[in-house]
Structure 1
Amino acid sequence: MDSEAEVSESARPLTRSDLVRSGVIALVVSLVINWLIVFVANAGGIAPELAALNYEPVSFFTTIGVVGATVTYGVLARTVADRDRAFTIVAAIVLLLSLLPDFVVIPDQPGGSLVAGAVLGLMHVATAVVCVGVLTDRRNRR
């Protein structure tokens, strides 16, 4: 019986206000987590000269990522039967692709290192987990 209720809830049309609410929640949570990671990295002296490990670029790219995830979820909600499963798959693929520059490009940047790349990768993972968790959470819908 519960699986039938889940299926019907998952098939329910996603309203624009549901999507915006979920997107805002995902953004706020992702920013707070990533700012904490930046704070700890800076306090620990990890790559202090690396521009990518400062609040402004982290805030900008986190916002771009969450907005992109929210729009993607909205598109999938209108085009596929199982939006949550499809979004989780897309998010996993995008996450894996987003980790490449952290380990290929960042270590060669001024002030960069493999550890700094791993810290940035941790931010990508945190944001992806938050986006999947919040955007697919049916409790955010009326």
Structure 2
Amino acid sequence: MASETAGSTAEKTASVKGLTLSGAGALVLSLAVNWVIVFGANTGGIAPELDALTYGPVTLFTALGVVGATVTYGVLTRIATNPDRLFVIVAAIVLLLSLIPDFTVIPDQPGGSLVAGTILGVMHVTTAVICVGVLTR
């Protein structure tokens, strides 16, 4: 019985390590893509006064989203019989909810516009796709 406990502890440690590495990979890739999008928006002169389209907020909110996705996926792997499928559903719902402020709040912000909101929405979609792809592989 002691060997079963040690085995399951080793498996949990390995899965936590794998999940952490996957989450870190999703974070690095998401940040790289979103920084390129911010660079393009800044270079194109799209919403230069909009704080939400600067590196600081994009970095913070991308990191929070990816960490949240990683923790959520980790929990689902422990409680769900088909965590990948459930994670895709949860990610889709969270993505749809995250788009609401992009099209309702951002256009009314100083320097904001519907184009700026769309660009932020694209960043949400790319981050969601990266998280689902990396975490469920």
What is the TM-score normalised by the length of structure 1? 0.87
Alpha-carbon offset, residue 62 of structure 1: 0.1
Report % sequence identity. 68
Alpha-carbon offset, residue 131 of structure 1: 0.1
Which protein is bigger by CA-based radius of gyration?
2
Q: In structure 2, how many angstroms separate the alpha carbons of the residues matched to 1:64 and 1:52?
A: 14
User: Mean Cα displacement is larger for which, 12-21 or 88-97?
Assistant: 12-21
2:127 aligned with 1:131: no
Q: In structure 2, how many angstroms separate the alpha carbons of the residues matched to 1:105 and 1:66?
A: 22
Alpha-carbon offset, residue 120 of structure 1: 0.2
Q: In structure 1, how many angstroms separate the alpha carbons of the residues matched to 2:38 and 2:61?
A: 13
The runs of at least 4 aligned residues of structure 1 exceeding 6 Å deviation read none
Q: In structure 2, how many angstroms separate the alpha carbons of the residues matched to 1:36 and 1:15?
A: 31
Q: Which runs of 5+ in 2 are unaligned?
A: 1-10
Aligned residues: 126
* Residues 1-142 of structure 1: pairs in structure 2 closer than 5 A: 15-137=15-137
Alpha-carbon offset, residue 19 of structure 1: 0.5
Q: Which amino acid aligns with 2:113?
A: S
Q: Which runs of 5+ in 1 are unaligned?
A: 1-11, 138-142
Q: In structure 2, how many angstroms separate the alpha carbons of the residues matched to 1:26 and 1:66?
A: 7
What is the TM-score normalised by the length of structure 2? 0.90
Q: In structure 1, how many angstroms separate the alpha carbons of the residues matched to 2:85 and 2:21?
A: 20
Alpha-carbon offset, residue 107 of structure 1: 0.1
**RMSD value over aligned CA atoms?**
1.2
